[in-house]
Amino acid sequence: MTAGPPQAQPHRAAAGPSSGAGSVAGRHRGGGQLAQLERSVRAGGRSPARAAVTRAALPPTTSVRRSAVLALGSDTATPDIVLTRRNAHLNHHAGQVSLPGGRADPQDADIVATALREAQEEVGLQPSAANVIGTLPATLIAVSSSNVTTVVASWDGAAPLGIVDPGEVAAIRRVAMSELADPAHRARAHHPSGFRGPAFLLEDLFVWGFTAQLLDEILDAGGWSQPWDRHRVVDIPTEYLGRSLNS
Does the pLDDT at position 163 exceed 80? yes
- Please report, in angstroms and rounded to a whole number, the separation of the first and last CA atoms in the chain: 21
Does the pLDDT at position 92 exceed 90? no
186 touches 200 (CB < 8 A):
yes
Residue 221: predicted pLDDT: 94
Does the pLDDT at position 26 exceed 50? no
* Average pLDDT over every residue of 77-104: 89
Does the pLDDT at position 69 exceed 90? yes
CA-CA distance, 208 to 210, in Å (whole number)? 7
Q: Is 44 exposed, middle or buried (0-12, 13-18, 19+ CB in 10 A)?
A: exposed
* Average pLDDT over every residue of 141-167: 90
198 touches 189 (CB < 8 A):
yes
Q: Is 222 exposed, middle or buried (0-12, 13-18, 19+ CB in 10 A)?
A: buried
Provide the pLDDT confidence category of residue 21 given band limits of 50, 70 and 90.
very low
Residue 1: predicted pLDDT: 53
Mean pLDDT of the chain: 82
Q: Name the strand (E) or helix (H) holding 75.
A: none
Residue 103: predicted pLDDT: 93
Residue 105: predicted pLDDT: 96
Which of 21, 3, 108, 123 is CA-nearest to residue 65? Answer: 3
* Average pLDDT over every residue of 161-176: 95
